[in-house]
Copies of this chain bind each other. A is one copy, B any other.
Amino acid sequence: MTRKTQPADVFSAIAEPRRREVIAMLSDGEEHAVNDIVLRLKLAQPAVSKHLGALRKVGVVTVVKRGQHRMYRLHPAGLKPVHDWVKTFERYWTHQVDQIKQRAERKALERMIRMDDGSNPKEE
């Protein structure tokens, strides 16, 4: 897992494009041996093991020993924190965008009229 310090949270874990590739490959819901991933993604074996270790540490994949292979499988629940976080912004690109923008613009206008430059931390 690239030495000692690994992404501590799932947001950092998925920031790595290769790890998203690994996730994509595992998103068929099936088990895959490390070497399958090595061949498919054309990465070095240690690199794959490290990425899988990182994903495992944040709960995005699980592993079982099966013979001399370690079979990795996606554990999608590990991605739920990301989903929940970004889902709170979903409404912005659906129908409520206009309302929100209008509210913001109205308030901004108020501020301009009042000449309130924000140097007083009264908003806190």
Which of A's residues lie within 8 Å of B, judged by CB?
7, 9, 11-12, 14-15, 17, 20, 27-31, 33, 35-36, 39-40, 66-69, 71, 73-74, 76-77, 79-80, 82-83, 85-90, 92-93, 100-101, 103-104, 107-108, 112, 117-119, 121, 123-124
Q: B118 to A36, Cβ gap below 8 A?
A: yes
Q: B121 to A39, Cβ gap below 8 A?
A: yes
Q: Which residues of B contact A73 (CB under 8 A)?
A: 104
Q: Which residues of B contact A108 (CB under 8 A)?
A: 30-31, 66, 71
Q: B117 to A67, Cβ gap below 8 A?
A: yes
5 A-B contacts (beta carbon < 8 Å): A12-B15, A20-B85, A29-B103, A30-B103, A33-B118
